[in-house]
Structure 1
Amino acid sequence: MSVQQMPEATVPGKEYLTFRIADEEYGIDILKVREIRRYETPTRIARTPVFIKGVVNLRGTIVPIVDLRMKLHLHDDPHYGEFTVVIILNLLDRVVGVVVDSVSDVLKLQQDEISSVPELECAIDHESIEGLGSVAGRMLILLDIEKLMSSVDMGLVPADA
């Protein structure tokens, strides 16, 4: 009598697009990502925060471009190289682009691979960090990109929203 093996139950996980800024690796919910494009110099708009690099026309949609390196206070004078990309996101019924140094891959993380963030003084609001992912010896800062992009200092949403 043979024992038939049952397929392992699939445990739901969450997929993250991972990317690098300076020496750190970050992850954002893949469901927020619309596309990835090479970096093009945006058209600057006067009196916007320094981390908003300007806007680009994406197939008829005007898209604000945010430099995450500058937003996260990782460096005031970013270098845009051959691997620099813009991740186009669908957030809060808006389209927003974020500039990152490079895109790594898409990872599926299970809940047990995500730790809470310790209470530390940092440039990122704690509510904008989902947790710290750990997979294959890599530590990822998992951003709640929607909360990060909807902060009042971004100027992308009204202050009373």
Structure 2
Amino acid sequence: MNDLESGVASRNTGDTGTAGKEYVTFSLNAELYAFDALQVQEIIELTTVTKVPHLPGHLKGVINLRGTIIPVIDLKQKFGMEGHGQYRKHTCIIVTEFSAGVMGLIVDTVSDIMNIPASSISAAPDFGTRINTEFIAGMARTGDNLVLLLNVDKVLTDEESSVVAQVAEQPPELQPGMAEQ
């Protein structure tokens, strides 16, 4: 386990207090994003993902993480960003808890754990009714950087969450080629 992973584990039970809230920051195409650290279970190296037929393109398949089937989503592809599917040395999977269970999110790199005070967080921008931004929990200024804070429960639509939950319920023996991590 690297320092960032152990930092997430040790902070999951901590009190956020009045100083702010802790976020795990990561990059997608050099843009900075973050999830609430309390929703991050662990961060793992990118591993072989077993494809499951008939899933939407951004739902890459599943991994077997110590006996638990975890659906994996390519966040860049989900967000319609360039470069999806181009995985590099530091590409990793953030294993998160969300309303329908657990999922893994493929990101370019994990950066840091940041304590972001509520006073530094602005509401998500309003682009009108045609653009869905409900997955953006807010935007935070950290020095010269702008960080998009994501609501892990809203990254997937209700229909996608239902599909992810069904995929995760399949027993490992029904998933050929599943090797434990």
Q: Say whether 1:56 aligns with 2:49.
A: no
CA distance in 2, matches of 1:124, 1:43: 32
Structure 2 counterpart SS, 1:126: coil
Q: Distance in 2 between matches of 1:114 and 1:83?
A: 28
Alignment of structure 1 residues 3-152 onto 2, 5 Å? 11-75=18-82, 77-92=84-99, 94-120=101-127, 125-152=132-159
Alignment partners' CA distance in 1, 2:136 and 2:128: 13
1:56/1:146 CA distance change after superposition, 3 Å: same
The one-character-per-residue Cα deviations of 1:107-135 (angstroms, maximum 9, x if unpaired) are: 11111101112212699732211111101
Return the offset for 1:11: 2.5
Letter in 1 for 2:123: S
User: Does the 8 A contact of 2:29 with 2:83 survive in 1?
Assistant: no
For residue 91 of structure 1, report the CA deviation from its aligned partner.
Answer: 1.6
TM-score (norm 2): 0.75
Gaps of 5+ in 2: 1-16, 167-181
By how many angstroms is 1:76 displaced?
A: 6.1
User: TM-score scaled by structure 1?
Assistant: 0.84
* Higher strand residue share: 1
**1:156 to partner: Cα distance:** 2.3
Deviates more, 1:76-85 or 1:41-50: 76-85
When the two structures are aligned, how many residues end up with a matched partner? 149
1:52-96 CA deviation, whole Å, 9 max, x = no partner? Answer: 111010111111000000001012642101000000112225121
Gaps of 5+ in 1: 1-9
Residues 21 and 151 (structure 1), Cα distance of their counterparts in 2 relative to 1, 3 Å cut: farther
Secondary structure of the equivalent of 2:155? helix
Q: Residues 121 and 24 (structure 1 numbering): CA distance in 2 closer, same or farther, change over 3 Å?
A: farther
Letter in 2 for 1:37: I
| Aligned counterpart, 1:3 | none
Shift in CA distance, 83/47, structure 1 to aligned 2, threshold 3 Å = same
Give the structure with the larger helix fraction. 2
